[in-house]
Structure 1
């Protein structure tokens, strides 16, 4: 299994080296470089093949393993619904925080371009918007303690 990880690493390393070379070497008089497309294609194919083989081998190991539920017992429907209910505040609050941070971040960058001295104030607004996610996480932790 370690050889698959090595193949994946080689594919990613090849992509990175090709990207660095393409970035550092200037285009010579508009002549196309003919080896770039095959090099990127080979590295992507190598990575995708190794990833697929790793998933296949990992799935076979999981199927051959002793079931984890045999030792821990069954989870009831009520407990499962309770755990889902604990996750809902975190999910909704992180979605709301993402919706809030987007416009606030864009507006604060626009304002900072004109008035750099109000950086602290914009940072406070971003922190308040991000606090929405923290509140949801705290609520989930408190609810998880009740189960």
Structure 2
């Protein structure tokens, strides 16, 4: 299983190095072998990840000692734990949707009027607060489980 993790790590490192090379020297990227090499690297990564999932699932299912050590988790408790994570997930998505246009608009306004930098930070902080509210709700719900 460690060899799969090594293959995946090398695949990610290869993609990162390729991105850096393409960014630094775009004129040299026109080699005909470069794009198929990226595709093969990505394919090796995806296949290794799928194999890791299947092999890892077999190892987890085979480990009966771990299941005997911990307490039983019922379906209700499992659904409750999922329900605790939902406010954080949705509020984080909402904050991301809010911060994108606000950040773009703040940069556009700062190019024309740099003196209103503090105001733009307040607007960005309000948008980020949405994610914090979701996290607080999840913590409060986690206390109820």
1:24 matched to which residue of 2?
Answer: 25
Does residue 90 in structure 1 map to residue 91 in structure 2?
A: no
2:33 matched to which residue of 1?
Answer: 35
Cα distance, 1:80 vs structure 2: 4.8
Paired positions, count: 143
Describe the shift of the 1:51–1:101 C-alpha distance in structure 2 as closer, same or farther (beyond 3 A): same
1:41-80 matched pairs, under 5 angstroms: 41-66=39-64, 70=68, 71-75=70-74, 77=76, 79-80=77-78
Cα distance, 1:10 vs structure 2: 2.4
Using the size of structure 2 for normalisation, the TM-score is 0.76
* Structure 2 runs not aligned, ≥5 long: none
Using the size of structure 1 for normalisation, the TM-score is 0.75
RMSD of equivalent CA atoms: 2.8
Cα distance, 1:26 vs structure 2: 2.4
d(CA) in 2 for partners of 1:50, 1:144: 36
* CA deviation vs aligned residue, 1:26-80 (integer Å, no higher than 9, x gap): 259xxx5222133223322322232222222111111211275553124263x45
